[in-house]
Chains A and B, each alone.
Chain A
């Protein structure tokens, strides 16, 4: 079994002053799950991955892989395999030898090595490249060799540290699906680190969003998208980013309105109740609206705002409008048929049933 469990794990680097990169990590990854650790640079995701690998000591707390506490277990004894951002291929060895080397170090019999290497090469479409050296390979091919080297070990846990970040955009998209397929085929626990939220959303069973060494939310991609726990997750997940507007909540006959500038938007009953019951009448909160939660005027929306068009980006299948609404910068996604002129005023409907509200001080969600 290859579940992974962090229990009150702290990672602090000594120094003057000491640097606490992970203060108190509690994280449970299920056996065979594909979990993504995502967050901005310096959030602790790579450190967390390296702690699983044993490449970083744990300052305090406990780390379990399966039922075994592994704090003091050497990396080579942990039944894990790792795929690195820079592939870590030996330039002087052929593809065959690069894949085989870990097994050779472990004194695996030659026939078994040969069988495993060819098996992995077949799955990864590397059979015709086994005699080549890494410099004769493309980035995607090198990454597949790195995957192959990990696969032949038949580990309980695969760790992948930003394996696609050195590839161009098209190749990244292709390799994403290859890695997802590999996970299903191997039926093993995968822990994958990336800073790219699109990668995270498309690949993981669950995503762990991290910031400053602290887990912000650990949930399925859809839940993170639809029900972000706080402002950071709301802004991090989703591209283009969610729009945030400071609004004042005002009680109304029908429930409550969200007011900013000259606009006062009557909120759906459920959201109004949550805000009023939460004591936000007369208070400023943050309203979040995803770019796709706006309505073209042709569809006769009920709740309308007006803004100045700063830029219209024609993406082919849709239009991204960069608007300035009472001093609030917003990005709106609309069908490609909508092509307003820049520096003109533009009206657009808002799907108020889809907006999110966050407490201004704690930044935690109030209601979705």
Chain B
């Protein structure tokens, strides 16, 4: 304890105590073609104090591409879930389901210079970065109850572009300076946290994608079973299919036809989890032209047939309560 009665880096009984050791930074340089598992980066971004960490080892990870281009690839169990519990400062725990019984999935996000990505460090185990053009990456980790309060309601796993990436870079470089006091460092982290909140709150309102893409995403997610392919989506949005495909692929990183199929198959999975609908009717309800085709697409996505999925799912002990799925077929 120092003379003021404070433990080093802590004000006792104060939320600020969790902020003062509440994040770290790391700069990474990658060459084109190089791959970096995120788990390799994590130790440098993690808190040494387990009591201060509420979510995974490094809490929230904020990645900005200062230059170059990368693919941010998440692979692994499709049903990794994070369950929030209000329990003092330990306000988040996460549950991971047994990999052997869970279908695998992968998501790929392309990030270019100036673009950013916010995600949970708990996903790091199944995440890697592939460098497409020589890149400089800036990682910032946040943990603690203040970070939770600020960040947990914000959108994760979406590529967005901060209004002033240079402001982030400047704060990042300041944080990297070795001879700062912990108060100075905390102030910078807090400033960055607030800036992030400001950016992502606006992002939530503006969606981050061009309006056409946002509308297409929403349409496909809500009405995948009732859409007759990309032409139908384009028709509804009053654009040509070619234009939609171009803009959509550029923004989302996958063609709209593929996304539509993904929406259908994800919806089918939720219906299978309801447990009481025959597979051939689920195929119909999700817009597949036949039960055989549905089974083929399902297997390609999840590595098992719909029936095998039902069998594996029924054995799980931590099934979520079935959602009240909006299905117009019942109405």
Contacts and interface: CB of A to CB of B under 8 A. Distances in A.
A16 B155 CA distance: 13
Interface in B253-298: 277, 281, 284-285, 287-289
B227 interface: yes
B211 to A, nearest CB: 17
Contacts of B227: 91
Interface string B32-74: 0000000000000000000000000000000000000000000
A81 B331 contact: yes
A178 B291 CA distance: 37
B324 A90 contact: no
A75 B281 contact: no
B329 A86 contact: no
Contact of A80 (B232, B277, B327, B331): B331
Contacts of B284: 90, 92-93, 101
A267 B285 CA distance: 64
B153 interface: yes
Contacts of A74: 324
Given A75-B331, A105-B330, A91 B324 contact: no
Interface string B221-236: 0010111110010001
B228 A76 contact: no
A104 B180 CA distance: 70
B226 A89 contact: yes
Interface in A85-134: 86-93, 101-102, 104-105, 134
B326 interface: yes
A75 B288 CA distance: 24
Q: Which of B223, B229, B277, B324 has the most CB of A within 10 A?
A: B324
A91 B287 contact: yes
Nearest to B225: A90
B328 interface: yes
Given A16-B153, A92-B288, A104-B281, A86 B226 contact: yes
A1 interface: no
Interface in B156-182: none
Nearest to B281: A105
Given A75-B326, A86-B223, A92 B287 contact: yes
Contacts of B326: 55, 75
Given A75-B326, A75-B330, A105 B226 contact: no
B226 A88 contact: yes
Given A91-B226, A135-B228, A105 B324 contact: no
Nearest to A54: B324
A84 interface: yes
A330 interface: no
Nearest to A15: B153
Contacts of B327: 75-76
B228 to A, nearest CB: 4
B289 A75 contact: no
Q: Which of A55, A74, A84, A92 has the most CB of B within 10 A?
A: A92
Q: Which of B153, B228, B232, B285 has the most CB of A within 10 A?
A: B228
Nearest to B322: A74
Interface in A22-77: 53-55, 74-76
A82 interface: yes
B324 A75 contact: yes
A151 to B, nearest CB: 13
Given A74-B324, A90-B226, A135-B228, A102 B287 contact: no
A90 B287 contact: yes
Contacts of A105: 277, 281, 285, 329-330
A102 B324 contact: no
Given A105-B277, A135-B228, A88 B330 contact: no
A87 B226 CA distance: 9
Given A16-B153, A135-B228, A88 B277 contact: no
Contacts of A87: 226
A16 B326 CA distance: 25
A348 B170 CA distance: 71
B228 A102 contact: no
Contacts of A104: 281
A155 to B, nearest CB: 9
Contact of A53 (B153, B232, B281, B331): B331
Q: Which of A90, A91, A134 has the most CB of B within 10 A?
A: A90
Contacts of B289: 92
A136 to B, nearest CB: 11
B284 to A, nearest CB: 7
B43 to A, nearest CB: 34
A86 B287 CA distance: 15
B328 A82 contact: yes
Contacts of A93: 284
B329 A102 contact: yes
Contact of B329 (A54, A55, A80, A101): A101
A104 B277 CA distance: 11
A51 to B, nearest CB: 13
Given A54-B324, A55-B326, A86-B223, A91 B228 contact: yes
Contacts of A75: 324, 326-327, 330-331
Nearest to A84: B328
Contacts of A150: 331
Q: Which of B226, B227, B281, B327 has the most CB of A within 10 A?
A: B226
Contact of A102 (B223, B229, B330): B330
Nearest to A106: B330
Q: Which of B153, B277, B327, B328 has the most CB of A within 10 A?
A: B328
Interface of A: 16, 53-55, 74-76, 80-82, 84, 86-93, 101-102, 104-105, 134-135, 150, 159
5 contacts: A54-B324, A75-B324, A101-B329, A104-B281, A135-B228
Given A53-B331, A75-B327, A91-B229, 17 more contacts: A54-B324, A74-B324, A75-B324, A88-B226, A88-B328, A90-B225, A91-B228, A91-B232, A92-B284, A92-B287, A92-B289, A101-B329, A102-B331, A104-B281, A105-B277, A134-B228, A159-B331
Q: Which 9 A-B pairs have the closest CB atoms?
A: A91-B228, A76-B330, A82-B331, A88-B328, A92-B289, A88-B226, A55-B326, A105-B329, A74-B324
